[in-house]
Structure 1
């Protein structure tokens, strides 16, 4: 008498076959490893050549009725950021703004005001030099037009106050975005093409002639994708850490938390792939449908640059995207040292997306 059919062993066989097919697929390797590594290399080598920026903040204790403040505020070369003290310090530490300027009274009768600058290691010395030059230019303009008989209305202190803390490098922002890029592309494109081709080539129909259940078919194929993508995630992080000093603030603990976050997010992104694979009528229809999910997130979810660069109305849409919440959570865990549970608002948003996505996927999923 034949023994009972082992569903688990059948699932592992499908998983092994799925891994072999992905390793033989240049497109899978390119989307999962190639593209993210290329972007990491490009932005990593750009890490020491930050773009010139004159986005600044004014110390909350400065006299905002001072004419020097109005001169700086109305100058086209400065973009004054107005946030809370804590948010402003965070922006300086991460290099989002060049520095905080403080306007105070001076004991020097020839220069009644003095301007000091507070910055961080994340800001390039070139940007600090430009900031000093532009501040001196505005002071000189005031000296010539408003105070021609005075020596100078103010001076800029030569010494710059540098905030203590870790260096926030370009790679600390870029790598999480590239990780999200890899997970999203693999989860949607990989799954969509896989199940469309399995239906098109009648592979699923042949599976039905075997004793394995539909649930284990899906689990086997999904498990192969998860294993492959987790391996690529490890490679991406390893390159970032060892080649460009990507920050893992708590070492192995941070790494494990990132892996858990990546696994959770990948499962959600794969649900979008099930939807695309079910809706597409032809193989050529898969990329356009997949890009409906992926392109807005690649561009608007903080993958390549902060969403704060966008207008406020667009930031609302950006904060709605699931990839935004993955990027936010990973950056907070890797650099800020937040625990996975401390990122519960982002996890909650991802969970809501997962419920919605899989509810639609179950409704639309077709075996033939």
Structure 2
């Protein structure tokens, strides 16, 4: 007497067959692994420092009545951070800002004011030298020439820079999370959309109906193959970034596991839009434009290649609601800053809200035939 039909074994068989098909697909390998690795290699070889930034904070004891302070706060190139002392110190240690500036009156004669700088080991020394030796000194010279022509100098910059310990923030620490997000989003949307559209068009799903396997297990089997492939891709990307370019994993293997869990959550959310596209597409040629409506804005605006702070202020709120933005932010916080998944609950929560909305639409539009 034959045993009962196993839906689990049928699902695993579908997963195995679909995974083999994915591994043999050049487009899947190129979009999921090839493109992200190319960007990682390019940015990885560009150097270990971060981009030029004049983000500073003023010490609470700093004199704010002098011309140097007024000129610094009026220049658009200088972004003044206004946070608590603890938050400023944390940002400085993690390389998020350039320096803490303290302007104090000179009680020993000579220039009226002395400018003291406090920085950290996480700051690019070239940027710090540019700010201190060129930018700040240029401001003082300009003030002297226009307002104080008859005195030696209105202020001077202290030669010593107080340095606190800080973790070096490399280019790869910013670019790798973005490229992993690029890979997950591409595979979740384009991969799922093309996969289920072709299965429907080629009547493969209809043939599945002739077997005892039920519909949920068909979808789970196909989706599981995509998840396995992308988790392998994530391991490859993180592994190359860590071994070749010293990508920061603060707590080692524990951080790696948290990143994998985060990647799984993001992939499941992104796959929802792939189901939507496969359901509403009438022909295969309509899949790319529909998919790009969701993916292209995120590739450009979600902090994949550069910080969203580089965009105009009116555009930044739009950037901050995109699900890929929250994946990128959460991964950078976990990998470099040592945050836990629980502490990133806001980022994960926004991603899950997107998931609920997308899957609600997917259920409405998904077609079997």
Instruction: Give me the TM-score of the superposition, normalised by structure 2.
Output: 0.94
SS at 2:339 equivalent: coil
| Structure 1 counterpart of 2:54 | 54
1:154-169 matched pairs, under 5 angstroms: 154-169=155-170
SS at 1:157 equivalent: strand
Deviation of 1:10 (Å)? 1.3
Q: How many residues align?
A: 367
Contact 1:272/1:357 (CA < 8 Å) preserved in 2? yes
Deviation of 1:281 (Å)? 0.5
Deviation of 1:49 (Å)? 5.4
Deviation of 1:165 (Å)? 2.2
Unaligned runs of 5+ in 2: none
* Runs of 4+ that moved beyond 4 A: none
| Structure 1 counterpart of 2:107 | 107
Of the structure 1 ranges 113-122 and 280-289, higher mean CA displacement relative to structure 2 is found in 113-122
1:32-51 matched pairs, under 5 angstroms: 32-48=32-48, 50-51=50-51
| Structure 1 counterpart of 2:174 | 173
1:80-119 matched pairs, under 5 angstroms: 80-85=79-84, 86-119=86-119
| Structure 2 counterpart of 1:137 | 138
1:139-196 CA distance string (max 9 Å, x none): 2222233222322221111222223121121211111111111111100100000000
1:271-317 CA distance string (max 9 Å, x none): 11000011111001101101111011111111111212222322211
RMSD across aligned C-alpha pairs, in angstroms? 1.8
| Structure 2 counterpart of 1:257 | 258
**Taking structure 1 as reference, are residues 353 and 72 closer, same or farther at Cα in structure 2, changes over 3 Å only?**
closer
Partner Cα distance (2:155, 2:182) in 1: 49
**Taking structure 1 as reference, are residues 218 and 232 closer, same or farther at Cα in structure 2, changes over 3 Å only?**
same
1:225-252 CA distance string (max 9 Å, x none): 0001000101111111111111111111
Partner Cα distance (2:331, 2:262) in 1: 8
1:100-135 CA distance string (max 9 Å, x none): 221112233112211112223333222222212222
1:154-303 matched pairs, under 5 angstroms: 154-303=155-304
1:35-82 CA distance string (max 9 Å, x none): 111111111122335443434333332111112212333456x42323
**Taking structure 1 as reference, are residues 75 and 359 closer, same or farther at Cα in structure 2, changes over 3 Å only?**
closer
Instruction: Give me the TM-score of the superposition, normalised by structure 1.
Output: 0.94
Partner Cα distance (2:139, 2:159) in 1: 16
- Is 2:83 the partner of 1:70? no
SS at 1:117 equivalent: strand
